[in-house]
Amino acid sequence: MSDPTANNPVNGMPPIHPGELLAEILGDRKMSQAEFARVIGVLPMRISHVVRGERPVTADLALRFGRAFGQSPQMWSSWQADYDLKIAQSHLGKDLKKIPRLAA
């Protein structure tokens, strides 16, 4: 099994969890995780887990983040899906290349 934090073969960078982006946004706004959690109506631990990359941005959180920041929830879901795909690709590694393409 490959290291899930290994560099992406396409751009040489490790995958970025959406929690890192959330941390940057909160930092730019000088807002604590606890304050943000209160504003969007979730427990602070939930935000902490996302920021640390321990939990995903769920559909529920994507809706809340999108509403709070005036962004589309699809953007947050897309960032999470992209991260998940990169991690899965890293885990599958060479096994993925062994799967044949089926004719249409």
Report the CATH number that the domain containing residue 24 is assigned in CATH: 1.10.260.40
Does 48 map to a domain? Answer: yes
Does 101 map to a domain? Answer: no
Q: Which among 15, 12, 27 has a CA at the least distance from the CA of 91?
A: 15
Q: In sequence order, what are the residues at sequence separation of 6 or more whose Cβ sits closer than 8 angstroms to the Cβ of residue 89?
A: 96
Per-residue pLDDT tens over the stretch 44-100: 999 999 999 999 999 999 999 999 999 999 999 999 999 999 999 999 989 999 999
Q: Which among 56, 53, 51, 48 has a CA at the least distance from the CA of 76?
A: 56
In DSSP notation, 68-79 reads HHT--HHHHHHH
Tell me which residue range forms the domain holding 40: 18-94
Per-residue pLDDT tens over the stretch 23-55: 999 999 999 999 999 999 999 999 999 999 999
Does 10 map to a domain? Answer: no
- Residue labelled with tokens 């529920």: 60
